[in-house]
Amino acid sequence: MDNPATLRQRAPWLVLGVLVLAASAFPLAWHYLVTYPRENWQVDLEVYREGARAVVTGFPLYELRTVQPQFLPFTYPPFAAFTAFPLLIAPFSVIGWVWTVLQCALLWWMVGVAFRPLLRRFGHRAGLAQGVLAAGGVWLLPVSDGIRFGQVNAVIVALCLWDVTRRSRDTGTWAGGSGVGVALATAVKLTPGVFWLHWAFTRRWKVLATSIGTAALVTVVAWFLLPSASATYWTDALLDPGRLGPNGGTSNQSLRGVLLRLGPGEGSLAFTAVNGLMVIAVLAAALPLARRFDRLGEPVAVVAVLGMTAYLISPVSWVHHMHWGVVVIGAVLGDGRDRRRVAVALAGAVLLWIRMPWWGANLLAGNDVPNLVARVVQNSYSWWAALALLALWLLVARKQQAPPAPDQNDPDNPAQDDLTPARA
């Protein structure tokens, strides 16, 4: 724990960093929360809020639709509706601002964890550096779209990052995760369940059992409280990805989304086979990579790999689901001393800043470039995720050697370092 003198030295830089983030985020928030068309205002946040309202009023959860012109259904497990209860405590116009501030605060925290090796180099000025990085991160397309729609991605990524990177308060050792954060994230949005495959692959049975048990517990409680809605979700709504929107549109950047745009007809044997083979290929490459980072004691890189895996293999991965990209950039960048890693991290950030999928869609509609080129650009986030896995392997995993077995009694052991966000 820092002494009072150190805290006093860091505090001004922390405040300055927060102000930098706030100044960067304010124009974005103003655009989407003040000048944006009212019919498109925080449309995904409205889904969460109306789900909670349906539970309170007794309205059938999976029959609700938000108001026109969106008419969006509730697409999450019943447990998610219970977690949205706090959204009912204030007018929706207020909740939209609160949710935006929460997303920015979680971005700040995620930057502190994912970029910690770099931030350490700034000493007591780390808070300012953290603010500058977060200020840039808020303009990445997946993050800004999260603010635009009032999305939950920041919460999901933060829960998984907190879970996997946390260390024992008593010993300072890392046990691969606690399982609880991933369990809650999975009970809300299913896709973080890929972390369970990782823990099984690395034989972290205690963490796996804790995570599955926690997710099962909250799901059973939700089933007990909402038996009809739970039966509807697990036997019907879950099996209908069409409830999420047009799966073949540009917004869906998962491998299945790409295949819907390029491949054989959905429902055909060829489609099922190709999609299955792509999922198997991603898992065959990603799980050993995540295991290597686990053995290297690189939990941020573990989260980066599994986030990209979930993005690729999920039936539907919207552009804003690439919020995992913040963690990937931090894992690739490291401490900023390797020029190749810096260059790749900057390139990755630029590609998430520009609107490449939509550029590709416009190119496809305009017929100004060959169809193949337009398709490559349109499907750029799938390429980004796949290339991120490759970069993590070539630039990070291959360059490191597994550390020797740590001596838990050695106070100088690096394993004793915590992974809390950098403080100013």
Convert 354-413 into a string of H (helix), E (strand) and C (coil): CCHHHHHHHHHHHCCCCHHHHHHHHCHHHHHHHHHHHHHHHHHHCCCCCCCCCCCCCCCC
Q: What is the pTM of this model?
A: 0.92
pLDDT for 8: 79
pLDDT for 167: 85
As a whole number of angstroms, the distance between CA 73 and CA 87 comes to 17
As a whole number of angstroms, the distance between CA 386 and CA 380 comes to 10
Region 59-77: mean pLDDT is 93
pLDDT for 402: 62
pLDDT for 244: 84
pLDDT for 246: 86
Least confident segment among 10-14, 229-233, 274-278, 403-407 = 403-407
Opening angle at CA 68, ends 67 and 72, nearest 5: 65
pLDDT classification of 420: cutoffs 50, 70, 90: very low
Region 242-256: mean pLDDT is 91
Q: Is the pLDDT of residue 405 over 80?
A: no
In the three-class reduction of DSSP (H, G, I as helix; E, B as strand; rest coil), residue 165 is classed as helix
pLDDT-above-70 percentage for the chain: 93
Q: Is the pLDDT of residue 20 over 80?
A: yes
Q: Is the pLDDT of residue 4 over 80?
A: no
Q: What is the pLDDT of residues 194-207, one digit of tens each?
A: 999 999 999 999 99
DSSP state of 69: T
pLDDT classification of 423: cutoffs 50, 70, 90: very low
pLDDT classification of 418: cutoffs 50, 70, 90: very low
As a whole number of angstroms, the distance between CA 290 and CA 285 comes to 9
In the three-class reduction of DSSP (H, G, I as helix; E, B as strand; rest coil), residue 139 is classed as coil
Q: Is the pLDDT of residue 410 over 70?
A: no
410 or 294: which leads in pLDDT: 294
pLDDT for 419: 46
Q: What is the pLDDT of residues 158-182, one digit of tens each?
A: 999 999 999 877 777 888 889 999 9
241 preceded by a cis bond (ω within 30 of 0) = no
> Which of 77, 61, 51, 47 has the alpha carbon at shortest distance from 216?
77
Beta bridge partners of 73: 65
The tally of CA atoms less than 13 A away on the side-chain side of residue 341 is 21
Is residue 278 within 8 Å of 255, Cβ to Cβ? yes
pLDDT classification of 243: cutoffs 50, 70, 90: confident
Region 141-145: mean pLDDT is 97
pLDDT for 242: 83
Q: What is the pLDDT of residues 75-132, one digit of tens each?
A: 999 999 999 999 999 999 999 999 999 999 999 999 999 999 999 999 999 999 999 9
Q: Is the pLDDT of residue 414 over 60?
A: no
Q: Is the pLDDT of residue 279 over 50?
A: yes
pLDDT-above-90 percentage for the chain: 82
Instruction: For residue 62, count CB atoms less than 10 angstroms from its CB and return exposed for 0-12, middle for 13-18, buried for 19 or more.
Output: buried
Task: Write out the two tokens for 239.
Answer: 């099996």
Q: Is 48 left (phi over 0), alpha (psi -120 to 50) or beta?
A: alpha
pLDDT classification of 1: cutoffs 50, 70, 90: low
pLDDT classification of 412: cutoffs 50, 70, 90: very low
**Residue 65: φ, ψ to 5°:** -135, 140
pLDDT classification of 424: cutoffs 50, 70, 90: very low
Is residue 220 within 8 Å of 234, Cβ to Cβ? no
Whole-number average pLDDT of the chain: 92
Where in 17-111 does DSSP place strands (E)? Answer: none
pLDDT classification of 285: cutoffs 50, 70, 90: very high
Least confident segment among 32-36, 58-62, 405-409 = 405-409
Task: Write out the two tokens for 182.
Answer: 């991933």
Q: Is the pLDDT of residue 408 over 50?
A: no
User: The dihedral of CA 195, 200, 202, 207: what is its sign?
Assistant: positive
Q: What is the number of other CB atoms lying within 10 angstroms of the CB of residue 136?
A: 17
Q: What is the dihedral of CA 185, 188, 193, 196, to 10 degrees?
A: 50
pLDDT for 203: 96
Is residue 422 within 8 Å of 126, Cβ to Cβ? yes
Is residue 228 within 8 Å of 241, Cβ to Cβ? no
